[in-house]
Amino acid sequence: MKSYTDNIKEISKRLLKEDKVDMVIGYRTGSVPLMHQPFFAQNQEEVDEFVWDSNCGLNLANYITDRTERIGILATGCNSRNIAVHIVEGKIKREQLYIIGIPCKGMVDRHKLSAMADGDITSVEDENNGSITITGQNFSKTVDKAEVLQENCSVCVHRNPVIYDELAAEEVTEQKRDDVDPYARVKEIEALSPEEKWAHFDDLLSDCIRCYACRNACPLCYCPLCFVDESNPQWVGKSIDHTDVRTFHFLRAYHCAGRCTDCGACVRSCPVGINVRDFTKKLEKDCLELFDWEAGLNTEQRPPLDTYRPDDPEEFIK
Amino acid sequence: MKVIRIDKNDWAEGIEKIRKTYSLIGPVKEKFYHIFANLGSGQMPDMEFTNSRISPKYIIYPQSEIILKCSMNAEEEDYKIYREPEDKEYKEKAVLGIRPCDADSLPVVMRNFDTDEYKDPYWLRAFETTTLVGLACDAPCPSCFCTSAGSGPYNHKNLDVMLIDNKDHYLAEIITEKGEKLAEAAGWQDKAEGIADEIAKRKSDAESKIESNVHTDNLAKQPLLDLYEATSIWEKAAFACINCGTCTYVCPTCWCFDIQDEVYGREGFRIRNWDSCMYPLFTLHASAHNPRGTKLARLRQRFMHKLKYYVDKYENGIQCTGCGRCVRLCPVNIDIRRICNMMNSYDPETCTCEATVS
């Protein structure tokens, strides 16, 4: 059986050779373990740099916003859903894209792996049998991949791409919401008292340095001018004052409501380990419960907060 | 140089003594990584750490700092007249456990904050009242490259005291007068004799553990505009870059800031905040023109500043001490070692360069 990487290279080379696309967007091996780099290939040699394993955790839909070329792009379940959101929101045209679907087995959490290592990790082997081996100067450890998955991947119910032109591997079995509760953590927070919730979110954001890695890694955050960058008038202060930090995170989360696919790029990119998904996952749950809506499952419907239906829930209006 | 032996059994007692004169800052594990934080009463620094996730530059140069204050009450005499805050204290403080790479970033930053023309009073006062008790580095990370960036795991030239962990005791090199004063306050006076060779060996052992490096020998000679226009260096990196400020905010040598006025109730504050060349707003003109309007232009600015403009302007190496934080934390793996080696090896004739990380 050919590996994902081999298939991706073969498809990409064919697309470029047949002049179906101008570029293919994928990943190349990073210079440090657990960190592959989003990368575009325009010729056969560059395609040879492509790699696919459990360290490709950013969202490639972030890289197609407003592009004009014909693009081949790798897309896992969540990435394909964000591509669909992009198409619905007019950020790219479906006919510009050749989507190479990647049935996804989940990405590993580099913080969890680093915490398990007895020293600095110098190499990572992603075995096909569902285990991960990390090696450092004086240690080598093999762990079950399921234990070190990113939290969003471990509760994912859309591992297979929802739109694609070609698959790079056979579809994988989907998890069901009955077997794995994607909202277990949200429910824990919902059960807190208002004071406890406030304390939880205060603690969650206490380390934020406002580098905006979460925002910039997010394919939904494509505004030409983000509200925090408005300077005339200026809406939000620039310091690390708690009110301003909260304003940024709360408002950004609401802007993502009904559009977020829980790809986890925000959490993965945060340098100080803030679980940004504590905000976005709650909004995802609300959209599912109130509007029976999951983001990016087709390329026609606009998200619920973008539209009005006479039967929209309105119990919150007192 | 004087070297003192500090038995680890006496370490806590010495720390308690210096608390009387200095406020103490040291490595503390919060959540799942280390930061440099104020040490509360009885709290000890965790000297078993590798390094803090974010550089300790904020000890001297806080991310947000009130530099001026005024009244916003129209009935008061100093309505809207900005003055230095009277309650701004510059108490003697000691930073325990700072690594040599981070201490070596201070003279780099000082080149910006202390010039013949301008002296930044906030940075300088904080710097002058700080005593640095460094900790030599015996187990550098695979992404560290200090030895080729003007620093080193046993580099003590910008420390006041350098501690070397020697199992049941520390060897403390007393480097400056400030260091002498602190050692006296701590009651550390047990002179260690005849250990120069041992320290030299420890130093070379530590240096040999640094696995990666940057090549910088050619940077000054490279024609500036050729590097500026070197698409082969910038294009692929700029594609991956998401233009967040992580690299600049975790960096010990990035010094750029923005000044903002804010009002709380009846008081006005002028606040200096870190800023980042990665953000479009950093260079946005009032006219709406942005001279660095593209992602490529902003990414290029960061590396050109650190590895070319700074090199040419100050003739004192690169604006980087090889701590490796940006390498470890960039979410899209833009590796300064790779970019530096590309810039150093760039051949304008063929527009090619070598992309290596060692």
Confirm or reject contact between B319 and chain A (CB < 8 A).
Answer: no
Cis upstream peptide for A194 (omega within 30°): no
Residues A124 and A254 in one domain: no
Residue A173 has pLDDT above 70, yes or no: yes
Domain ranges of chain B: 2-53+91-208, 224-260+275-345
* Residue A291 C-alpha from the chain's centroid: 22
A132 and A281: one domain?
A: no
CB B100 within 8 A of CB B146: yes
Task: Give dist(CA A141, CA A135) in Å, integer.
Answer: 6
Q: Which of A125-129, A280-284, B92-96 has the lowest mean pLDDT?
A: A125-129
Per-residue pLDDT averaged across A38-56, rounded?
96
Residues A56 and A26 grouped into a single domain: yes
Q: Domain range spanning residue A286?
A: 4-107+149-306
Cβ–Cβ gap A269/B244 under 8 Å = yes
Neighbours of A61 (CB within 10 A): 30
Instruction: Let me know whether A74 and A178 are in one domain.
Output: yes
Same domain, A75 and A163: yes
* Sign for the pseudo-dihedral over CA of A77, A113, A50, A274: positive
Q: Is A137 or B249 the better-scoring residue by pLDDT?
A: B249
Same domain, A252 and A164: yes
**A-contacting residues of B 128-187, CB under 8 Å?**
139, 141-143
A241 touching B (Cβ < 8 Å): yes
Query: How far is A47 from chain B, CA to nearest CA, in Å?
Result: 13
Is A142 in the same domain as A160? no
> Are residues A163 and A183 both part of a single domain?
yes
Is residue A9, in this structure, part of any structural domain at all? yes
User: pLDDT at position B62, please?
Assistant: 97
Confidence band of A265 (pLDDT split at 50, 70, 90): very high
Angle between helices B295-304 and B336-345 (to 10 degrees): 80
User: Using CA atoms, how far apart are residues B67 and B268, in angstroms rounded to an integer?
Assistant: 11
Shortest distance, CA A212 to any CA of chain B (angstroms): 5
Residues in B closer than 8 angstroms to A269, CB to CB, are 242, 244, 246, 331-332
State how far residue A64 is from chain B, nearest Cα, in angstroms.
10
Q: Report chain B (358 residues): mean pLDDT per 10 consecutive residues.
A: 95 96 96 93 95 96 96 94 89 97 98 96 96 97 96 98 97 98 96 94 97 95 97 93 97 97 94 97 94 97 98 97 97 97 95 85
Q: Are A120 and A259 in the same domain?
A: no
pLDDT at A2 over 80: no
Q: Assess if residue A313 is contained within a domain.
A: no
Total domains in chain A come to: 2
Flag whether residue B293 sits within 8 Å of chain A, measured between CB atoms.
Answer: no
pLDDT of residue B358: 67
Do residues A98 and A131 share a domain?
no
Listed residue (A111, A162, A117) closest to A142, CA to CA: A117
The answer as to whether A311 is a domain residue is: no
What ipTM was assigned to the predicted interfaces of this complex?
0.95
In a domain, A315, yes or no: no
Q: Residue A68: inside a domain, yes or no? A: yes
Residues A259 and A289 grouped into a single domain: yes
Contact A31 B335 (CB under 8 A): yes
pLDDT tens sequence across A62-74:
999 999 999 999 9
User: Does a structural domain hold residue A250?
Assistant: yes
Domain-embedded: residue A142:
yes
Instruction: Please state, rounded to an integer, the average pLDDT across all residues of chain A.
Output: 95
